[in-house]
Structure 1
Amino acid sequence: MGISIWQLLIVLGIVILLFGTKKLRNIGTDLGGAIRGFKKSMGDEDTTKDDANTNIESKSDEQVYEATAEKTEDKPRT
């Protein structure tokens, strides 16, 4: 016992009568915007993680360079 096409059409007709086409169009637009925003934020999160990893790597390289420079300055020159 599934839902037939006629039952779906009746439900769709009732929804259109209750809300009107303009309101349904606005709901669809808002829902589409929300989905796009969600996808964009998920993509931005991945980019942010990649940027953070790159910053950590570059900072650790700078720290190694600074530590090496300090060690060579501490040694007396012969």
Structure 2
Amino acid sequence: MGSFSIWHWLIVLVVVIAIFGTKKLRNVGSDLGAAVKGFKDGVKDGGTADDPQVPPQQVTANKVNDPNTVDVDAKTKS
């Protein structure tokens, strides 16, 4: 009772094919294969320690008294 025989699996396969059809199952299989391939490529490309990705540094402008610039220091109300 704990394991299924080959006849159980064949009946399940026939029922799944009858419900979904072979075309939809073929599409699901190809989509799953493409997803696995994409995952493997992503793991392979992202796992290199020789070329660490450094984020670009923030570009700061020269301090110019521009009337449109807001000072970031908080002012207290008196």
What interval of TM-score do these two structures reach, taking the shorter chain for normalisation? 0.5 to 0.7
Amino acid at match of 2:20: F
1:46 offset after TM fit, Å?
A: 1.5
Take 1:6 and 1:27, find their aligned partners in 2: how far apart are those partners?
A: 24
Can you give the 5+ residue segments of structure 1 that lack an aligned partner in the other structure?
A: 56-78
1:38 offset after TM fit, Å?
A: 0.3
Q: Percent identity?
A: 57
After TM superposition, the score normalised by the length of structure 2 is: 0.62
Residue 11 of structure 1 is matched in structure 2 by: 12
More helix by share: 1
Residue 58 of structure 1 is matched in structure 2 by: none
Take 1:16 and 1:24, find their aligned partners in 2: how far apart are those partners?
A: 8
Return structure 1 stretches of 4+ with deviation > 2 angstroms.
none
Residue 30 of structure 1 is matched in structure 2 by: 31
1:50 offset after TM fit, Å?
A: 1.9
Residue 44 of structure 1 is matched in structure 2 by: 45
